[in-house]
Chain A
Amino acid sequence: MRRSLSPAIVGAGVVGLFCLAVMIFGDALSGHDHRAIDLSMRLAAPLAPGHLLGTDELGRDVLARLLNGMRWSVGSALCATLIAFSIGTTFGLAAAHKGAWLGGALKLLTTFTQSFPSFVMAVTVIALLGDSGFWAVTLTLGLVTWPVFSRVVYAEASSLFQREYVQAAEMTGMSVARLYAHHVLPALVPTLSVLVVFHFAEMIVAESALSFLGIGAPLGAATWGAMLSEGRAFMLQAPWLTLGPAFAMVIIIVAAHSVGQHLRNLTR
């Protein structure tokens, strides 16, 4: 089988590895603490001594803040996707397998979430809760977006459970766990993997948007959204303050999209 590694996938792989390094080492990779204020070096342009990407209005190293922001955004997005995936898949499977009122409830929930965009819901919930913080944002995003997974899982699993080989397996008295592990879940992997990747990309955007709006990350936290918001005031003098987080976000998202598209092509 001829394996073709498009440059996009290679790039995505590199980005992924870099992400991993950042998640582990954090802003240490930049040689600075992202919270360190240095008023003598305010708004330094990139390539200033010791500051590869410049500094912000409080003299904090931009690269360090970007790396911390990556930890926050990627971490939050990953957890939110995990939460949404777990709840959604469980619900979808249960509804598909046992049917009855679960299926009806699921349909109602789907109608609800389709009429009420998840981002608006997230904004409302988090802003009203007032509590900002990593887990408030992550949990809310996960809890608000899981219907996406359950909808897809319900549709696919429903048709799966009607297939003869699955019904036959069930009738042999196989335990539910085995049934799922050997027959149901493997068949769902292609669609779910694509969905997970694209959902992750959406979560990155959602989290950044929330912290940009000031809803989500606590004051002063170095998240990409917050950096974008703070950098707005200095667009003319220090464009790197907004360009940095903007492109960091775009790179992650494009990488995720490439992986997702690749997976989609593989499973077609």
Chain B
Amino acid sequence: MFSSSRMLGGLRDFAFVLIAAMTVLFFLLRLTGDPALVIAGEGASPAQIEAIRVEYGFDRSLIVQYGQTMLRLLQGDFGKSLTDGSPALGKVLASLPATLFLAAMALSLNLLISLPLGAWLGQKRTGAARRAVRGVLTVMQGFPGFVIALLLINLFAAGLEWLPSIGYGGPATWVLPVISVVSFLAPKLIRVVEANTHAALAADFVRTARSTGASENQILWRHVLPNALLGAVALIGAELAFMLTGLVVIETIFAWPGIGWLLVQSTLNLDFPVVQAVVFVMVVSVFLSNAVTEAVQALLDPRIRGRARAAS
């Protein structure tokens, strides 16, 4: 199903992005000032700072330090967190499940709402209901995700006190974060499914199906929707990749202990090893997510299957 040349290309891109990201990060970290100062903390004497500098190797040339860091990364050594001394990579991996969980729930809810709604909008082209829904969607797209989160908290947590506003615990804590994420991802997906459905309905193969006496229902379910949904897989994949890395603000608002939240915390605390580890894990996640998306596309679309087979 996957041609070897394509996989090699993908791996090469992955390696490139990873190395580039780690390099940029390394020089950024060095630019932000003296890491020895950060590690030593406030009120440390110059002697202590100097000792730390030697211990961590900050006194060597930049190039040597870069080489050392890269070598260590290659061996999987991400160092220890500067805030609590725990292994940096471990800390990041411990936060990953929270983000994965949020992403999975949001993705499921998104699909549940957007697919039917988009398909409905795609085939019902007139009517007040349609105009109303599209109007709501337009307005919703104007709301940034974190604004929606704050407004929801305002209403449901602070105001009505129906739901907790922070933390990751029982189902009650999932509601607001998931809804926040879904409400800014859904409008785009709905629009795409709508456009695909509308295009599929006008396609020639629908005319063929009609000429065999298929009912509108049968046409919609058997012929139109498979095509429309296929086109949406790319966007769904992109949204998944985004959720794995981009829920920074939402996680912060809800104190949801995921990797976005960890990124903010560690960058504000100048906890370099953790920042490095977070970025690393994010890049890996994105590539994995993209690979899965492509696999799903190949699975569902016979045209891609055929092409891949021909190319390998």
**Is chain B in direct contact with chain A in the complex (CB below 8 A)?**
yes
Say yes or no: B279 contacts A212, CB within 8 Å. no
Interface centre among B151, B153, B248 (most CB of A within 10 A): B248
**Are A120 and B142 neighbours in the complex by a CB distance under 8 Å?**
no
9-residue interface stretch from B15-23, B167-175, B193-201, B292-300:
B15-23
Q: A116-B21, A117-B245, A128-B29 are in contact. Are A236 and B138 (CB under 8 A)?
A: no
Interface residues of A toward B: which range?
Answer: 35 or more
Q: Is the CB of B17 within 8 A of A115?
A: yes
Q: For the complex, is B154 an interface residue (Cβ under 8 Å from A)?
A: yes
Do the beta carbons of B268 and A127 come within 8 Å of each other? Answer: yes
Report A197 CB to chain B, min CB distance, Å. 13
Instruction: Judge whether B129 is part of the interface by a CB distance below 8 angstroms.
Output: no
Chain B interface mostly = helix
B122-157 at interface with A (beta carbon < 8 Å):
138-139, 141-144, 146-147, 150-151, 153-154, 157
Contact B142 A254 (CB under 8 A): yes
Residue in contact with B154 in the complex, picked from A117, A214, A239, CB distance below 8 Å: A239
In A222-240, the 8 Å CB interface with B consists of: 228, 232, 235-236, 239
Residues of B within 8 A of A214 (CB): 268
Residue B246 lies at the interface, judged by CB distance under 8 Å to chain A: yes
B158 at the interface (CB under 8 A from A): yes
Query: Could you say which of A19-27, A165-173, A188-196, A245-253 contacts chain B?
Result: A245-253
Contact yes or no, B268 A215, CB < 8 A: yes
Given contacts A112-B20, A228-B150, contact A235 B158 (CB under 8 A): yes
Instruction: Report Cα–Cα, A51/B13, bound state, in Å.
Output: 56
* Shortest distance from the beta carbon of A225 to any chain B beta carbon, whole Å: 9
Tell me, yes or no, whether B267 is within 8 Å of chain A by CB: yes
Residues in B whose Cβ lies below 8 Å from that of A125 = 28
- Closest Cβ–Cβ distance, residue B277 to chain A (whole Å): 13
Which B residues between 232 and 260 are near A, CB-CB below 8 angstroms? 242, 245-246, 248-249, 252, 260
Chain B residues with Cβ below 8 Å from A129 are 28, 31-32
Contact between A127 and B264, CB atoms less than 8 A apart: yes
Contacting residues, chain A, for B245 (C-beta < 8 A) = 116-117, 120
> Does A83 reach chain B (CB closer than 8 Å)?
no
Shortest CB distance A10–B (Å) = 15
Q: Does A55 interact with chain B (Cβ within 8 Å)?
A: no
Stretch at the interface among B53-61, B84-92, B220-228, B280-288: B280-288
* Complex interface bits, B1-39 against A, C-beta within 8 A gives 1, otherwise 0: 000000000000100110011000100110111000000
Contacts A116-B17, A123-B248 given; does A250 touch B286 at CB 8 Å: no
A157 interfacial by beta-carbon distance below 8 Å: no
Specify which chain B residues have a CB less than 8 angstroms from the CB of A258 in the assembled complex: 138
B95 to chain A, nearest CB (A): 14
Interchain Cβ contacts under 8 Å between A and B, 20 examples: A111-B13, A112-B17, A117-B245, A120-B246, A120-B263, A123-B248, A123-B263, A124-B28, A128-B32, A130-B32, A215-B264, A215-B267, A228-B147, A235-B153, A239-B159, A242-B154, A246-B147, A250-B142, A253-B142, A257-B141
Lowest 10 CB-CB distances: which A-B pairs, in order?
A254-B142, A127-B267, A235-B158, A205-B144, A253-B142, A128-B32, A115-B17, A236-B158, A115-B286, A250-B142
Instruction: List 19 additional A-B contacts (Cβ < 8 Å) besides A119-B246, A128-B267, A209-B249.
Output: A112-B17, A116-B21, A116-B282, A117-B245, A123-B267, A124-B263, A209-B248, A213-B252, A215-B264, A228-B147, A235-B153, A235-B157, A242-B151, A246-B147, A249-B144, A250-B139, A254-B141, A254-B142, A258-B138
